[in-house]
Structure 1
Amino acid sequence: MSESSSGVNTLSNSLPKSHLSNYSELGVAHLPASVHQSPDSGLASTPLPSSRFRFSSWHHLPQCDLTGDQLTCPRVREGPSDEELFQRKVYSLCVEQWKKRRIEVGQTWEERRKENWENCVELNLSYQDLGDAFQRENFVRILRRLIRVEKLQLVNNSLENLSSVRLPRCRILNLHQNYLVSLRQLPKLPAVEQLCISENAISSLEGLDALKSSPLRSLNLTLNPVTFTQDYRARVFSSLPNLETLDGVPLLPGDQTHTRLHFPRIARMCNIL
């Protein structure tokens, strides 16, 4: 057997005549139509178009009379057609575009999720440098849309009045270092539990009763002028029955009694003569 240029082992003249006669008697020594006689190497076949038939089985090759017992080389299989290759290429491009689009859509969704501040539960909007009145008005307009926030930080924002804002779910609010001058300027906080209004300009306890119905447990009014008023702690605790801590100090025994000053009424008598 001698190997041809196509990788097919063919019969050679070097074999004995008896072997050749045996093959001829069995009817298996059929030569392919494309095989021609070569004077130097015996039987040699023309090379098969391997790029086209590399994915096909040997018995599917056209114009070939070789049988299985004559073929000892690896199987030759026909490759995909040009149309199938084009379809595969289109499919791969579609898959790549779909993956790319999916990544882009995922990033867009993440960005939208980050920008969806209206549904935030925890939000920090401190140090916004609101120097202009127009900025403060728009900032208050934004705060009105925070209907789901539970923890809100508004430190050092030069805020003056938040009475038009309602935070129905806010449990923790930090208004440290702002320009509030009265407790009436606080936002409506029906569910607040911790409230910090330190370093503002609150000078009286007027408006504290608005927090009476809320479950407020901790209140911080340090560095406000109101902390220097008489019976400050007792008045705060008497107005807020659920309060446990004031200015970082828990409820003390002396804070439970609220001493009020009673001034005697001066009765004036008028004598008619």
Structure 2
Amino acid sequence: MSESSSGVNTLSNSLPKSHLSHYSELGVAHLPASVHQSPDSGLGSTPLPSSRFRFTSWHHLPQCDLTGDQLTCPRVREGPSDEEFIQREVYSLCVEQWKKKRIEKVGQTWEERRKENWENCVELNLSYQDLGDAFQQENFVRILRRLIRVEKLQLVNNSLKNLSSVRLPRCRILNLQQNYLVSLCQLPKLPAVEQLCIAENAISSLEGLDALKSSPLRSLNLTLNPVTFTQDYRARVFSCLPNLETLDGVPMLPGDQIHTGFHFPRITRMCNIL
């Protein structure tokens, strides 16, 4: 494993040859003088070539052939520029107008869009992105909408509040643990989901669970949500999801079935005539 300039781990065997050759040609003369290596690093006093890119996102690197699906945990968090912050203060009463200007000004180029390559991601980890600004949330949702082929997706601890506008048509495994979801209606559309983890959110009711009824969902985790303390919680979940096998890590038990009525034994009377 090696560390990329954007602070993410990359698979060394997935690095294109052109990217490796580009780094091998970089000389020490082009590096900042403030970069130092520890004596026990085994590299002597020569700084790493990637140090000059430590403040640059991977898809902004010149002559970089890396795509988003080749990174173990790509860093996608971005912040608005200083000019955008000024526009927020000046046009606080005209939010829609400001958004239009920002989209026209900061729109992605085709080259940047190609390097991200989200459409071809099959397994992706976008956890712990520290999305503290509305701009970052919007950019994150934009990326999620491009995941049309992803099958395994990790979105742990991203302060996500609403993903109802996102559709993940091929996603089989989704982890939304430690976010700010308050309702199952805020989940993305998951027609192919088999394993879903929504633990440690703020879901207080089962409203919206019907949307998962037609999916092949076999495992659901709602641990540490307020809804797990409601009456007949497990029975109501199993009755709504016919394909469900495991809830909160516990397989379906005999007591997890709702009995709609009681069957009393039939009483018959016999009269013997002597």
TM class by shorter chain equals 0.5 to 0.7
* Aligned residues of 1:222 and 1:247 also touching (Cα < 8 A): yes
Deviations 1:240-269 (A, max 9, x none): 000000000000011022569999999999
Counterpart position of 1:231: 232
1:108 Cα deviation (Å)?
A: 17
Normalised by the length of structure 1, the TM-score is 0.54
In 2, Cα distance between equivalents of 1:214 and 1:58? 36
C-alpha displacement of 1:93: 63
Q: 1:260 to 1:164 in 2, by over 3 A?
A: farther
SS at match of 1:113: helix
* Residue correspondences, number: 273
Q: Per chain length, whose mean CA-contact separation is higher, i.e. which structure has more relative contact order (CA < 8 Å, sep 6+)?
A: 2
**C-alpha separation in 1, matches of 2:70 and 2:233:** 111
| 1:80 Cα offset (Å) | 65
CA distance in 1, matches of 2:20, 2:223: 114
Assess if the C-alpha contact under 8 Å between 1:35 and 1:46 holds in 2.
Answer: no
2:77–2:140 contact (8 Å) kept in structure 1: no
Alpha-carbon RMSD across the aligned residues, in angstroms, is 29.8
Q: Which runs of 5+ in 2 are unaligned?
A: none
Aligned to 1:84, what secondary structure does the other structure show?
helix
Superimposed CA distance per residue, residues 13-57 of structure 1 (whole angstroms, 9 cap, x where no aligned partner): 999999999999999999999999999999999999999999999
Q: Identify if the C-alpha distance between structure 1 residues 3 and 209 changes in structure 2 by more than 3 Å, giving closer, same or farther.
A: closer
In 2, Cα distance between the equivalents of 1:14 and 1:126? 21
Distance verdict in 2 for CA 1:21–1:192, change over 3 Å: closer
The structure-2 alpha-carbon separation of the partners of 1:18 and 1:171, relative to structure 1 and needing over 3 Å to count, comes to closer
> Which has the larger displacement, 77-86 or 213-222?
77-86
- Find the residue that maps to 1:123 and give its secondary structure: strand
Please say which structure displays the higher CA radius of gyration: 1
Q: CA deviation at 1:137?
A: 1.2
Return the offset for 1:149. 0.2
Task: Give the superposition deviation at 1:197.
Answer: 0.1
| 2:197–2:220 CA contact under 8 A, matched in 1 | yes
- Asked if the contact 2:191–2:212 (Cα under 8 Å) also holds between the matched residues in 1, the reply is yes
What secondary structure, in the 3-state scheme, does the structure 1 residue paired with 2:43 have?
strand
**Distance (whole Å) between structure 1 residues aligned to residue 7 and residue 260 of structure 2:** 113
After superposition, the C-alpha distances for 1:82-134 in whole angstroms (9 at most, x for unaligned) are: 99999999999999999999999999999999742321100000000000111
Shifted more, 34-43 versus 141-150: the winner is 34-43
d(CA) in 2 for partners of 1:16, 1:189: 33
The structure-2 alpha-carbon separation of the partners of 1:250 and 1:130, relative to structure 1 and needing over 3 Å to count, comes to: same
Q: What per-residue deviation string (whole Å, max 9, x for no partner) do you get for residues 195-214 of structure 1?
A: 00000000000000000000
* 1:108–1:260 CA distance, 2 compared to 1 (3 A): same
2:72–2:125 CA contact under 8 A, matched in 1:
no
Given the superposition, is the C-alpha separation of residues 94 and 214 from structure 1 closer, same or farther in structure 2, using an over 3 Å criterion? closer
SS in 1 for 2:107: helix
Report the CA distance between 1:138 and its aligned residue: 1.2
Say if 1:56 and 1:77, in contact at 8 Å, map to a contact too: no
Mapped to 2, the partners of 1:14 and 1:181 lie a distance apart of 39
* Residues 61 and 89 of structure 1: CA distance in aligned 2, closer, same or farther (over 3 Å): farther
What's the secondary structure of 2:242's corresponding residue?
A: coil
Q: 1:191 to 1:132 in 2, by over 3 A?
A: same
Task: Classify the secondary structure of the residue corresponding to 2:36.
Answer: strand
